[in-house]
Every structure is written in C-alpha cells, then in structure tokens.
Structure 1
C-alpha cells in the first residue's frame, strides 16, 4: 500500500479522536483543522485531490474546506478498507462513495471531518458541523428551521438554551438528510422532521413527518448524537445495517 501524499501546510495532522458521546464500532472518523490563508495554488495537485470546476473557481475558503474534507475522507477510506481514493461529487452534489461504503463529510470555519463505514455494518451515516448561532440570529432563523411543535417546546425551555436549540435542530436535520438521502433517493427539508427531545449529554431523538419510502414513513424515529466544542456543534445520525 502506497503512503498518502504529505498534507498541505493549510491542514493540521489528521486526528482520529472520537469527538461525540458514543463511539460507533466499525467506523473510521478523521478530522483536521485548516487555514485558508496557508493554501497555495499547487496544494490540490500535490495532494492528488481533483477539485471540481466549481471549487477551482471559488475563493480560498471554499477551496481549503473542500481539500480538507476530501483529505479526511481519503485517509478514512484507506484506514477502513485500504482504498486510496477521494469521493467525487455526484450530480446531486453528494459525495460518491466506493461500492459497499457509506460515509459523510462536513466542514465549518477552520474544521473539517469525515466518517466512513462498510454498508454491511452501517446503512447510512450523516455528519454535520455548524458554528453555534448567536441569540439574535437564532431567534431570526428559528421559524425557518423549527416546526410549530419544536417552537413550542423551545419556548417552554430555558431562554439561555434557545440559540443552542436552534443550532442543534438545524445540524441534526442536516445530518438526517445526509444519512437518509442515499437510501431513499428523495429530497426532504426542515419541515419534514422534528427533534422530539435532546439531553445535555448529547443524545437526540428525531421523528420523520413525511413518507420517504415504504420503509421510512411518517412517524419513523431515529437517534442522533452531538457535541459542542470551541464554539462549534458536531452532530451525527447513524443507521445500522
């Protein structure tokens, strides 16, 4: 097995620390910090990562986050199954994983991560990283992200938790979409799922509010988990095989 190319200066060494409350067996999760100001034009070629035209034309921030995410994904695939490849972007904008593999890539300000597993172990994985919303922005966005029932539960809770509630709800619904879309091949949106409950320990319970397939119907419930660190919230939805 050939070693991977050296990481570019814009990325820190890959970290295999599990950042969430409950580690998933038979998965590989890797993360890195990245600094767009350290990106140089030759980094993609030297890293052997092929950026799509839309990324090539984009600003340094978008290029650095794409590169960092793909570097995590490629190293995770190599560690999981000895595959030296980087997932391309499909027509639906989702990563195209090798046959028999599921995974998820995420990034936010200065931080990227990827998780992969064999479909024999996990049918779907969805991971999302978000900067914590401030109170003013959370109040403004709540009506677009939360269902009426979620808004009612948030209003009954502690006021100082509202920004976290909105950020968490946004993130776990993004993770839910990433986990389920490859299975159902049908788009759905914030109003099509709701957070039933969540705990300070990082446990979340979700419920679908629409039919997505004969298996995933209105009322289906799933678990998620999350963690908050350094002003960012990471969430993960995992569906067992």
Structure 2
C-alpha cells in the first residue's frame, strides 16, 4: 500500500502480519525495548524487520535502526527513511539521500478519531473541505497526513510542528475513489522546507496511508516536490 504512494526509487516494505520470521532485533535495538510492554515491542520489531527488507531493496546490508528525539529513526549515512505501524499494518520506506531530502509515511486504522481528538487535529478550514467525497473518515485522514508532514519536517528542523500549524487540502484521483493527493500549507515555515508540501493518500482494506516526499532540488524546481 505504501509503495503505491511513493516513486520507484523509494524502497518500500510492508506487512499486515503481527510478527515476521526475520523479526530478530540487534542487541542495540533490544536495549531500547527491554522494558517495553509486548505490543510496543512487537510494533518496534516488525517495523524494523520491514526496514531491513527495504534496505535490501537498496542493496544495503541489514543494520540496527536506533532512534533519536521524538522517536526519529536513525538511518545509515546517505539514507533517508520513515517507519510507521498501527494495528494490522507496518511499513518502512527508504531512499538514497541523492534522491530524497526527507520523507514521511504514516498508516492508521480507517475509523473515526476518538471523541474530542478531532477538534485538536482538524482546523476549521480543513473541515469545510470535507465535501470532496463520502465514504472516507476525513478526520483520521487528516491525522495521518499531518503525521507524515511532521515526519518530513522534524528531521530537517529538529523542532515540533503542532497539528494546527499545517493546513491541508485533499484531492481524489479522477480514476481512483480511494486515493489521491494532498497539499500541506505550513502555517509555521522554516528555511529548510518549502512553505507547501505535497503528499499522497490511500484507503484500502481498513487502513488509511499517507506519504510526503521532499526532493533535494526543491529550490531549483521552484518549490515543487517532483512527486
């Protein structure tokens, strides 16, 4: 599913399985989840198994994936990547730094957000645009897309981006009732990124997935991503 949202030069690996045969942690990774509850440990392990599959897609040997502040994955030199996990879906997306400056992927259960959460996540201007189609839990889609925006933003700025600091507009593909594109206008800008980020979204088999990609040449391209 994630692979349908990203260009071919991004190596993607995903699973709907709750565990994977190759889900063995490196000792350094084991230390990070030694005291974690079983669900946290399983999410961590399966996401890293996906990451190592994606490394193989780039011709890389498998290595440990540790994390920094805010849980940001720490990748080998020259590699850009993103991880996501939710009930029923885990995925990793990796690319070479020559092709990608930053990227973010996110997956969520396709269901309404818990009561009260939508008011914290969705801007009034976004809610007014939900008329683009029925059959989609738009509050959950906004949440996922903003997670992908944050995962793209944070490695370049190392600062927080609140949910109300990005204003999203969604579009459906003409030939696809369950997927399309979105634009994220950043209310708080940073010189490391353009003021608008482009993304893609899809709903399939009970999962909503989103992805944002920023190319290294975005300035030369006039601020567009070349998605």
Cross-structure match for 2:109: 131
State the structure with more CA Rg.
Answer: 1
Q: Is the 8 A contact 1:132 1:231 kept in 2?
A: yes
Count, aligned residues: 210
Matches within 5 A, 1:92-241: 92-134=70-112, 137=113, 140-154=116-130, 157=131, 160-161=134-135, 164-199=137-172, 200=177, 201-211=179-189, 213-216=190-193, 220-241=195-216
Q: Which structure's residues are more often helix, by fraction?
A: 1
Superposition deviation, residue 160 in structure 1: 4.5
Cross-structure match for 2:65: 87
Q: Which SS does the other structure have where 1:64 is aligned?
A: helix
Cα distance in 2 for residues equivalent to 1:146 and 1:91: 25
Cα distance in 2 for residues equivalent to 1:18 and 1:179: 15
Cross-structure match for 1:8: none
Superposition deviation, residue 53 in structure 1: 4.3
Shift of the 198–158 alpha-carbon distance from structure 1 to 2, 3 Å rule, reads closer
Cα distance in 2 for residues equivalent to 1:148 and 1:111: 30
Cα distance in 2 for residues equivalent to 1:170 and 1:221: 17
Q: Is the 8 A contact 1:49 1:70 kept in 2?
A: no
Cα distance in 2 for residues equivalent to 1:130 and 1:88: 23
Superposition deviation, residue 127 in structure 1: 0.3
Shift of the 239–216 alpha-carbon distance from structure 1 to 2, 3 Å rule, reads closer
Q: Which runs of 5+ in 2 are unaligned?
A: 217-227
Shift of the 110–55 alpha-carbon distance from structure 1 to 2, 3 Å rule, reads farther
TM superposition score normalised by structure 2: 0.82
Q: Which runs of 5+ in 1 are unaligned?
A: 1-16
Matches within 5 A, 1:63-78: 63-78=41-56
Q: Which SS does the other structure have where 1:206 is aligned?
A: strand
